[in-house]
C-alpha cells in the first residue's frame, strides 16, 4: 500500500517475480473498463506476466462500494489460496484496505432518490457548502473528508439523511467479522514530499502524451455517462471532463488535476500514519532483500503455498 505515484506497481512486480503471487488490485478506478491511462492501469504485458484480479470488472456507468470490494477480494483470496498461491493486494484506495482488514458496519446502502437530492443541492450551492453543512452534523467525518471530495461528502450526507445517524458513528460500530487470515502490511512511504509531487506532475504529463484526453473524450461520447458518476469524479478524470466540456482551459485543467492528485496523496499518507503493524519502506530507495525476508518469515512453514515457484 502507499500513496499514488510512490512505486507500488514496480515493487509488486518484483515481489511476484520472487514468490508465487497473484495480484489483487486495491484501486477504485482500475475496476472500470475503458479507464486505463488515467488510472495508470498496468499494460497488457504486465497483466499477462502476473495474474491480476479486480481490474476491468465494471462499466464506468456502474457504481461500486467498499462492501463490494470486500466481498470480491475475499472471494479472490480464497480462490488464490486454493491454488496454493499468495494473494498480493496492491493499491492506494485505503477505504478498501480498511473494509477488508477490519470489516464494515451495517450502515444503510445507496439511496438513488437521496443522492439525486444531494447532487441537486451541490449544483445549486457547491460541494464546499455541503462540506460545511456536514461539519455541522458530523464534525468528525468532516475533518476526515476533504472539501473537494464530492463522492465521500455525498455518501456521508446520504447516510445521515437516510438513518439520522452520522457516518462517523456508523464507522465506530462493530462491523463484519475480520477475515480468517493474517496480512503482512508493507507500505511505500515517500520521505521527500517534493519529489513525490514532481513524480505526480511528470506522470500526468506522460498520461497526456499517451492520449488521456482522447480516453476521456471517448467516455464523454457515451450518453449514459455524466460528471456525477463516481467513475467520472475520479481524480484526473473529473478535471479532464470539465476541460473537454469547455469549463476550464488546458493549463488550468493540468494544474487542477495535479493539485487534486497531490491532495489525494496527502490523504493517503495521513491514513498510513494512523495504520499499525506496518513495514514502512522508504519509497525513494529500499532494500528488496529485506522485503523478501519479511515475506518469507511471514509465510514461515505454512503448507498453504507452493514456495519457490515464482509466478513468472
CB 90 within 8 A of CB 23: yes
Q: What is the mean pLDDT of the chain?
A: 91
Side-chain-facing half-sphere of 99: CA atoms under 13 Å: 21
pLDDT at 66: 86
Strands 185-189 and 278-282: parallel
C-alpha cell at 225: 455517462
Does pLDDT of 263 surpass 70? yes
The distance from CA 107 to its chain's CA centroid, rounded to whole angstroms, is 21
Does pLDDT of 309 surpass 60? no
Residues contacting residue 61 through CB under 8 Å, at least 6 positions apart:
222, 224, 225, 229, 231
pLDDT at 169: 86
pLDDT classification of 42: cutoffs 50, 70, 90: very high
pLDDT at 304: 59
Residue 55: φ, ψ to 5°: -120, 135
pLDDT at 310: 47
Q: What is the mean pLDDT of residues 67-77?
A: 94
Does pLDDT of 81 surpass 90? yes
Q: What is the pLDDT of residues 138-178, one digit of tens each?
A: 999 999 888 888 888 999 999 999 888 888 888 777 555 66
What is the secondary structure of 247-298 as a DSSP string? SS-HHHHHHHHHHHHHHHHHHHHHHHHT--SEEEEETTS--HHHHHHHHHHH
Pick from 27, 42, 24, 25: nearest CA to 80: 24
Interatomic CA distance for residues 24 and 204, integer angstroms? 24
Residues contacting residue 66 through CB under 8 Å, at least 6 positions apart:
95, 96, 98, 99, 104
CB 187 within 8 A of CB 270: no
C-alpha cell at 19: 514468490
Amino acid at each position: 500500500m502507499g500513496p499514488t505515484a510512490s512505486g507500488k506497481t514496480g515493487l509488486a512486480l518484483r515481489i511476484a517475480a520472487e514468490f508465487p503471487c497473484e495480484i489483487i488490485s486495491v484501486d477504485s478506478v482500475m475496476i472500470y473498463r475503458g479507464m486505463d491511462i488515467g488510472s495508470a492501469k498496468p499494460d497488457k504485458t504486465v497483466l499477462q506476466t502476473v495474474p491480476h484480479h479486480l481490474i476491468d470488472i465494471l462499466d464506468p456507468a456502474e457504481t461500486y462500494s467498499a462492501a463490494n470490494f470486500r466481498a470480491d477480494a475475499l472471494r479472490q483470496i480464497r480462490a488464490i489460496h486454493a491454488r496454493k498461491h499468495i494473494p498480493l493486494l496492491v493499491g492506494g484506495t485505503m477505504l478498501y484496505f480498511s473494509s477488508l482488514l477490519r470489516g464494515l458496519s451495517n450502515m444503510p446502502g445507496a439511496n438513488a432518490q437521496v443522492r439525486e437530492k444531494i447532487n441537486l443541492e451541490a449544483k445549486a450551492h457547491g460541494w464546499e457548502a455541503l462540506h460545511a453543512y456536514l461539519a455541522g452534523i458530523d464534525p468528525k467525518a468532516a475533518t476526515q473528508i476533504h472539501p473537494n471530495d464530492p463522492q465521500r461528502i455525498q455518501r456521508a450526507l446520504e447516510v445521515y439523511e437516510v438513518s439520522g445517524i452520522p457516518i462517523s458513528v456508523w464507522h465506530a460500530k462493530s462491523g463484519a467479522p475480520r477475515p480468517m487470515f493474517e496480512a503482512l502490511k508493507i507500505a511505500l512511504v515517500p520521505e521527500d514530499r517534493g519529489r513525490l509531487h514532481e513524480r505526480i506532475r511528470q506522470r500526468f504529463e506522460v498520461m497526456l502524451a499517451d492520449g488521456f484526453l482522447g480516453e476521456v473524450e471517448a467516455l464523454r461520447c457515451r450518453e449514459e455517462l455524466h460528471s456525477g458518476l463516481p467513475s467520472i469524479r475520479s481524480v484526473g478524470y473529473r478535471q479532464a471532463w470539465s476541460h473537454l466540456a469547455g469549463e476550464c482551459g488546458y493549463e488550468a485543467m493540468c494544474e487542477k488535476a495535479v493539485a487534486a492528485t497531490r491532495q489525494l496523496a496527502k490523504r493517503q499518507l495521513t491514513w498510513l500514519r494512523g495504520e499499525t503493524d506496518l513495514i514502512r519502506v522508504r519509497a525513494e530507495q529500499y532494500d528488496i532483500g529485506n522485503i523478501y525476508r519479511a515475506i518469507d518469515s511471514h509465510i514461515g512453514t505454512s503448507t498453504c503455498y507452493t514456495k519457490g515457484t515464482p509466478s513468472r
